[in-house]
Amino acid sequence: MNPSAQKADKTIFPNPLIAQRADPWVYRHADGYYYLTASVPEYDRIELRRSRTLAGLADGERTVVWTKPLSGPASALIWAPELHHIDGKWYIYFAAAPSEEIVDGLFNHRMYVLENGSSDPFAGDWIEKGRIATAWDTFSLDATSFAHRGKRYLVWAQKAPDVEGNSNLYISEMENPWTLRGKQALLTKPDLAWERIGFLVNEGPAVLERDGKLFITYSASATDHHYCIGLLEADAEADPLDPSAWRKWDTPVFTTSEANGIYGPGHSCFTVAEDGETDVLVYHARSYKEIVGNPLYDPNRHARAQAFGWDAEGRPAFGEPLPEIS
């Protein structure tokens, strides 16, 4: 099933929002700023940007808060940072590897956490809290955190020893912002045809909650024009750790638009426009289909933003990627 489209707010953002910023994460804080972090093409550092407006992020204030070391377990391929404000402190989740080596078809990423106790994430010190320990010591990435009914959870992508493919999505309750507690539950694995093109991938989760429902978007397949966004749904009263509480949509909810010239949309997150009401999807995609060489090292996955609406049954209706604005 695919949520039917519904007319969304006519808010228009620059497209692309920011060039060469894959895996974008935008967070609107109580201080009135939009904060953005993303994978940089060099995969060597974590950069923050901020602006009073979404459009202003392109030229907004920026700072590098962490640079990879020359060696060690987190010294290569810094991917998909996310900025979160939890219990009065700032946290950045990111994935890193000890090298660019591929073994048995996979990189060697694990998930790590930075902490900053300052009220301003552009000030203070970013302290390395270390690696997030999961049930297996295997390829893992794309950690995102959310609070729900008094508990905090982590959702992430990981290779399981007994599951075919590159990565599945898992969820766990958290003891604190860098430590998991209790069981680790499987939410989804790439078992549908559109999740298995090029690579068998479920990754890049992002959480939405609205009108008594929880949603998790995620990305699937190889990072070329086949990359797309799928959807999980659960009742907000259900236990998020119960896999049976989650329904997975049979078809992707946001895909390549040949007509609009936008290819491989994925790795979404969500925010609201300056009016405080209009919901905004933030994602990355390319403006061309044919890629020379490894798609991972093609730098032109640009960060993009567009308003979206909700269908009659209260589900997000993303429509299709809008064309670039010249």
Query: Which uninterrupted H or E stretch holds 27?
Result: strand 22-28
Alpha carbon separation from 254 to 87, 137, 196, 285, 286 (Å, rounded): 33, 32, 16, 11, 14
263-317 residue pLDDT tens: 999 999 999 999 999 999 999 999 999 999 888 899 999 999 999 999 999 999 9
Domain presence at residue 15: no
Distance, CA of 267 to CA of 282 (rounded, Å)? 8
- Percent helix, strand and coil across the chain, each to the nearest 5: 5, 50, 50
Domain presence at residue 5: no
217-275 residue pLDDT tens: 999 999 999 999 999 999 999 999 999 999 999 999 999 999 999 999 999 999 999 99
Domain presence at residue 322: no
Q: What percent of the chain has pLDDT over 70?
A: 97
Domain presence at residue 11: no
Domain presence at residue 229: yes
Tokens at residue 318, please? 């993303």
Q: Is 195 a catalytic residue?
A: no
CATH classification of the domain holding 162: 2.115.10.20
69-82 residue pLDDT tens: 999 999 999 999 99
Catalytic residue among 203, 224, 233, 279: 203
What dihedral angle (degrees, nearest 10) is formed by the CA atoms of 170, 172, 178, 181? Answer: -140
CA atoms within 13 A of residue 282's CA, in its CB half-sphere: 28
Q: Is 203 a catalytic residue?
A: yes
Q: What percent of the chain has pLDDT over 90?
A: 93
Distance, CA of 120 to CA of 247 (rounded, Å)? 38
Residue 287 burial (C-beta neighbours within 10 Å; 0-12, 13-18, 19+): middle
Domain presence at residue 38: yes
Average the pLDDT over 176-189 and give the result: 97
pTM above 0.85, yes or no: yes
pLDDT at 326: 67
Enclosing domain of residue 295: 22-317
Domain presence at residue 209: yes
Domain presence at residue 13: no
45 has a pLDDT exceeding 70? yes
- Which of 11, 23, 27 is closest to 271 using CA atoms? 27
Answer for the pair 157, 141: CB distance below 8 angstroms, yes or no.
yes
Tokens at residue 268, please? 């979404």
Number of domains in the chain: 1
7 has a pLDDT exceeding 90? no
